[in-house]
Amino acid sequence: MRMLLAVSLIALAACAREKKVEAEAAPAVSETSQPTVGAGEALHAADHAALSAMRAEFAKVDMAPDVSFLTDEERRVVNLLIEAGDLMTEIYLRQRGPELPAERTKIATMDHPDKALLLDLFDLHFGPWDETKENKPFIGTDAMPAGAGFYPDDMTKEEFQSWIAAHPEDKAAFESPYTVIRRTEASAISATEVRMGGLVAIPYSVEYRQWLEPAAAKLKEAAAGTSNASLKKFLTMRAESFMKDDYYDSEMAWMDLDGTIEVAIGPYEVYTDNLMGLKTAFEAFITVRDPEQSAALSKYKDFLKEMEANLPVDERYKNFKRGFESPIAVVTQVAGGGDNVPGVQTIAFNLPNDERVREAKGAKKVLLDNVMGAKFERILAPMAAKVLVADQAKLLMKKYMGAETLFHELSHSLGPGTIVKDGKETTVTAELKELHSPIEEGKADVLGAYNILYMMERGEIPAAEKENFLATYFVGIFRAMRWGAAEAHGKGASFQYTHFRKNGAAVWDEEAKRYRLDFAKLEQGIRDLTRDVIVIEGNGDYAAAKQFLDTVGVLDREAEAVIASMTDLPVDIDPVYPERI
């Protein structure tokens, strides 16, 4: 996600992808890196126990998506899209490192007792680095270059910037989300003169032509095979985008998709570029829409204004300036490709990132229901028994993990954005600086909960399930706290936890070594904390934000013990999708 100009859009974009968030935050594993020598060349890898522990963090789940309702035509189209998605995977592996396919082959030909496990981990993480441990290498000793495969390994930020300063005509191409930067060779001009090597921007359509051409062909074939006009238009335009490095028209067309097949394919997020945050990674989400659930959830976007009006704060903290449409799709993921495949799995995304499209059409929120469901079954549900007393642990409901995910996203677009401080117009982001992310993520959680309670009050969500929701929400706080307070969502979760401990909503049962929730107090706590956080944001008061985080963002002994008891639960899932449907 590129830095955005409009505050309302920053808020919308804050959770473009839960995946990155979770990826930043997994607990650390032992770092026993020791050289292991194979029969031929030496292969340095972590020891067997460490590798096995790493593998166990990701629970393999056979996704078996339900596609029984698809017509034969839709099935053929989806299979073509899966093939195009596989090509995104080929590209993304090279975007992480152009040499990675060769490295994998090398490992495969070496003699090493853990070879199968190493290859499995290499495929899980798309390379020899563990994304959940800040990209630390588990094979070899080389750290992942900050610029991944987008730039020369040895190029620094300073070199990139001074090149642009010296060659202003290169600025647009160098900063484009759709180019890679490479070194040019030094070349002889004459017997005595040598031209020094420099930097050059190469368009994706050139660098990745070998895979983009067949991918475009697959999209065109799928476009020819579908009778859905909106899908035909998007796929045709996206195929052209691959060849011309201009995605504006096809992003506009993507916003208008209205059929069963909901597909995102192309270069999207910039998270892999940790050097400049400029270059987009190819990925694919091949999904099918659940029409009933999408319609059921879509109604909530129409309540955004009323939710703003319902904020438990003075009128001056409310913000009615935003007015973007916010389509919501609930989908079943059938296959992934590229950046979507390795490591921690995405459960929701908010695209496109192109500011011009957002201004014209807003952004689409897509909830990957089966991915979220798998995380509920494998992680959140078993976590409940470690957090809550038995009679409350059984209250958890999957649908409220989904509701909290959706309302978290919606709540990013509520509350203060552009504010006036000391007579000057400024933004919450600018005033709260590095404290903004944890405050804003915690705000989206607690305001999400507040809004779900509001929807229950309005009769839009069954109020009889209030305790089911509250229990699910509270355990969800632990799922995020597990990622650590160094990370925005983890810190945001810890201030919610502390608030609910202080106001008596979460009472420690010493005998059960679990919490017992006082639901009335939890409801009150959600209201109070929503108010506190919005006021901090609305005042743009950095000192107050700092004091707030310092005093409420620290975990107590009980929370630490509960989190420590979770080591047997996977950090994330490793979904297995069918090769074709």
Nearer to Zn ion, 231 or 347 (CB): 347
- 89 vs 578: CA distance, rounded Å: 16
- 522 vs 392: CA distance, rounded Å: 14
Whole-number minimum distance, CB 88 to Zn ion, in Å? 25
Contacts with 161 (C-beta within 8 Å, 6 or more apart), sequence order: none
The span of 182-190, 355-363, 434-442, 507-515 binding Zn ion (CB under 5 A) equals: 434-442
Look at residue 180 and give its three-state secondary structure: strand
Nearer to Zn ion, 387 or 439 (CB): 439
- 98 vs 144: CA distance, rounded Å: 12
Within 13 Å of residue 343, how many CA atoms lie on the same side as its CB? 27
The span of 10-18, 64-72, 242-250, 559-567 binding Zn ion (CB under 5 A) equals: 10-18
> Is the bond preceding residue 65 a cis peptide, omega within 30 degrees?
no
The span of 66-74, 283-291, 424-432, 433-441 binding Zn ion (CB under 5 A) equals: 433-441
Nearer to Zn ion, 86 or 440 (CB): 440
Q: What is the 3-state secondary structure (H, E, C) of 10-29?
A: HHHHCCCEHHHHHHCCCCCC
- 496 vs 574: CA distance, rounded Å: 29
The span of 45-53, 68-76, 331-339, 438-446 binding Zn ion (CB under 5 A) equals: 438-446
- 136 vs 134: CA distance, rounded Å: 6
User: Which residues partner with 514 through β-bridges?
Assistant: 509
Q: Which amino acid appears at position 259 of this protein?
A: G
Whole-number minimum distance, CB 280 to Zn ion, in Å? 21
Look at residue 508 and give its three-state secondary structure: strand
Which residue's CB comes closest to Zn ion? Answer: 15
Nearer to Zn ion, 436 or 501 (CB): 436
Nearer to Zn ion, 238 or 322 (CB): 322
User: Which residue matches tokens 């999209």?
Assistant: 219
Nearer to Zn ion, 205 or 496 (CB): 496
The correct pick among 7, 15, 278, 435 for binding Zn ion (CB under 5 A) is 15
Whole-number minimum distance, CB 443 to Zn ion, in Å? 9
Nearer to Zn ion, 57 or 441 (CB): 441
Nearest partner of 401 among 323, 332, 348, 463, judged by Cα: 348
Contact between 283 and 335 (Cβ < 8 Å): no
User: Residue count at the site for Zn ion (CB under 5 A)?
Assistant: 4
The span of 15-23, 243-251, 278-286, 466-474 binding Zn ion (CB under 5 A) equals: 15-23
The span of 101-109, 222-230, 275-283, 437-445 binding Zn ion (CB under 5 A) equals: 437-445
- Structure token pair of residue 362: 């807003």
Whole-number minimum distance, CB 21 to Zn ion, in Å? 7
Whole-number minimum distance, CB 24 to Zn ion, in Å? 13
Contact between 342 and 325 (Cβ < 8 Å): no
Return phi, psi of residue 417, to 5°.
Answer: -130, -85
The correct pick among 61, 444, 475, 526 for binding Zn ion (CB under 5 A) is 444
Whole-number minimum distance, CB 502 to Zn ion, in Å? 24
Nearer to Zn ion, 234 or 349 (CB): 349
User: Which residue matches tokens 């979904």?
Assistant: 575
The CA-based angle 314-319-321, given to 5 degrees, is 155
Nearer to Zn ion, 17 or 233 (CB): 17
Return phi, psi of residue 327, to 5°.
Answer: -60, 145
Surface-to-core class of residue 543, CB atoms within 10 Å of its CB (0-12 exposed, 13-18 middle, 19+ buried) = exposed
Query: Which of positions 209-238 make contact with Zn ion (CB under 5 A)?
Result: none
Whole-number minimum distance, CB 408 to Zn ion, in Å? 6
Is 82 a residue that touches Zn ion (CB under 5 A)? no
Contact between 402 and 478 (Cβ < 8 Å): no
Whole-number minimum distance, CB 437 to Zn ion, in Å? 9
Whole-number minimum distance, CB 5 to Zn ion, in Å? 19
User: Which residues partner with 194 through β-bridges?
Assistant: 188
The span of 6-14, 210-218, 270-278, 390-398 binding Zn ion (CB under 5 A) equals: 6-14
Whole-number minimum distance, CB 412 to Zn ion, in Å? 6
The span of 70-78, 267-275, 441-449, 461-469 binding Zn ion (CB under 5 A) equals: 441-449
Nearer to Zn ion, 223 or 368 (CB): 368
Helix (H) or strand (E) holding 33: strand 33-37
Whole-number minimum distance, CB 487 to Zn ion, in Å? 12
Whole-number minimum distance, CB 172 to Zn ion, in Å? 31
Give the binding site for Zn ion (CB under 5 A).
Answer: 14-15, 441, 444
